Amino acid sequence: MGPPEGFVFNVGAHEWYHNYTTQQFLLGGLPDPVNTMLLQEPKWMLEATAQWFAAEQASIYGWAAGVQVQREIAATYEAPRFTDLKEWETNEGLGSYGLLPFIGDLLVEESSRTAFLRTYWEARAVTTEPWQTAFDKVFGVDVPTFYAKVKQRMIDIAP
């Protein structure tokens, strides 16, 4: 007996999205783009986009109930322990993946689904400016302000 079909689908969609972001950097034309730029991205952004995309795809293809259960578990058990998104900028500090769709929701609310899933990565692939600059341009909010909004969101969703 293997993992549930919905879980397998979710993981596949998540990993597919990582391939998509890598391809954006390869197509951007910067020298050695994957090793120099992609690795500088905040890990929460890399994982939040992939996790949010996977959850959206799972809902489209009939696993909405499973996605909802995961969100409820994250809200109940993980949001109350949330500390600070800044700590999630590196692999060492990456918190629970269960909270990442909530971060994705907030970015979509700040701008749009397209900005979150595509425009940010297209902007990052053609510039060597710091990710914070591209983030501000694409989403219309600076990183410290966004981090404060995420912290408030975690307070709001906790039971």
Question: What pLDDT score was predicted for residue 145?
Answer: 96
Predicted pLDDT of residue 150: 95
**CB under 8 Å to 61, separation ≥6 — which residues?**
9
The angle formed by the CA atoms of residues 84, 87 and 88, to the nearest 5 degrees, is 100
Global pTM value: 0.85
Q: How many of the other CB atoms lie within 10 Å of CB of 110?
A: 16
The ranges of the chain with pLDDT < 70 are 1-8, 31-35, 37
Q: Show the beta-strand stretches assigned E in 12-138.
A: none
Q: What's the DSSP call for residue 90?
A: S
Task: Give residue 29's pLDDT.
Answer: 73
Q: Which residue has the tokens 């391939």?
A: 19
Could you tell me the residue ranges of all domains in the chain?
5-157
